Amino acid sequence: MGERSGEDGLLAQAEIAPLTGLAESLGIDRSRWIQVATEPLPETLRLTMHHYDIEWTRKQLIAMGATSLKWSIGNEAYQLPFARGQAPRDGTRELLALLHDTGRVTRQEAASMLPILVLDPQPNELLLDLCAAPGSKATHAAERMAPTGVVVANEPISGRVNMLASNRGRLSLHNVMITQHDGRHVGRIPKPGFDAIVADVPCTGSATSRKNKDVWWSWSPKGGRTMFQLQVDIASRGAQLLRPGGTMVYSTCSIDPVENEAVIAELIQKCPWMDVIEIDESNVDGLVWHQGLTAWSPLDEQGKASEPPQDVPFFDERYLPPSNDEILNALSKTRRLYPQDNNTGGFFVALLRHREDATPEGVAKTFIDKLAKRREQSGWESRLLEAPKPNRHTVHGATEEEAAVVMQQCRLDNADYSWWKRGKRMAIAPPLVYNRMWAQETPNKRGDRWPEGTFHPLQVLHVGLPAFVSKNGNWRARQESIPLL
């Protein structure tokens, strides 16, 4: 193993790394790959488009030497003239930190902005982010969907849930709900299901070499093969929860086709109601990227092509290119981004739609009860179940009287929110949360129903923005709610 310290050690390792073998197998020029993929990423960020002093913030960025990313919509994304995390100590570093901490900007790698630009979620929609932490994509979607659309940001790991909540508060976003589930087993919501889904799944990070130098030493081809089933399962759960006509974006920060095109090929065979659709490139006008692959070779642990696959651990035929022409055509609609194309990290993205004619019932596939007719013939009747007992940590709907007291004490007029309580805090969210997720029954897989007035079986930790806190019987606005209110 090469010496990890210093540029010479990095370049020496890049010359022999299996990761370079992967790049070569994809037709990427070896010397150009090593040159760019070992360089640090430039600092990039997104402007908070709803912030009241956005033009002042834009002027500060331009004064730092920032330039707008040519493919970003509405000049919302900027690249700074220094490497990621290397802002000069002439006041620039301090100002940049202040802009981020006060919610005026969000530091985010340019490539990771693509899923939301490709998905293009709309106001009044209900979006699920299956693997949301730390929250850059969830908050990106929430900003674009505000004030009426809602993002359900799901994260299984408790510590990362806290990061989600922190970023929601930093940006004063009231249209984010936070749930905690394994992405493969996210609970149902009422019919018809979600309008849009983000499946930015865990991956090996083979395209992150510019920000994560360790990948030059740690990545091996078997990594993608061990991630494949998890990625398929998460994306499949998203497909099951998506209403007919709804769209889902699948993405990774990997260039390994086993984690990308092979997953999409498996997904559309497992979920035949899902179609890969063409990406509207006007949403990323000026971006240089490549069609998805329709042919690739299995690699041995040294990153060398192995045909037929010999000495390839954890091998499965599903990791190979499909032979079906229809599936191959679908894969050509996916897109790949390489570091040398736009001075970014690498990325993969695919856009899929739940075909409406595949589900005439008009609801997400998770609601289709295959045993319903048999049950009806046996005289079975659907039961209304009893919701789990709430505790002091449970989020529940506030009464009209409670909301009226807060509005009166905090001098709010015509506040078009739904109101939620958790402990001594009162949160506000768009009415869509109440209308589509709280005030309707939710069928379970046996055909029985969870009652309205509960989020169950969805494990909801936070709803909207905790804008007010009660102290000695009086309500006051919390600091993070001030930009919104």
pLDDT score for 129: 99
Which of 131, 203, 253, 271 is catalytic? The answer is: 253
The per-residue pLDDT for range 448-468, each reduced to its tens digit, is: 999 999 999 999 999 999 999
pLDDT score for 374: 65
The per-residue pLDDT for range 140-153, each reduced to its tens digit, is: 999 999 999 999 99
Label residue 373 by pLDDT band (50, 70, 90): low
Range 395-420 average pLDDT: 90
The per-residue pLDDT for range 309-357, each reduced to its tens digit, is: 777 888 899 999 999 999 999 999 999 999 999 999 999 999 999 999 9
Is residue 136 over pLDDT 70? yes
Average pLDDT, the chain: 94
pLDDT score for 412: 85
% of the chain surpassing 70 pLDDT: 97
Is residue 11 over pLDDT 90? yes
pLDDT score for 1: 43
The per-residue pLDDT for range 29-40, each reduced to its tens digit, is: 999 999 999 999
Range 394-410 average pLDDT: 92
pTM over 0.85, yes/no = yes
pLDDT score for 326: 98
Label residue 247 by pLDDT band (50, 70, 90): very high
Range 247-252 average pLDDT: 99
Range 437-444 average pLDDT: 96
Residue type, 237: R
Label residue 2 by pLDDT band (50, 70, 90): very low
131 catalytic? Reply is no
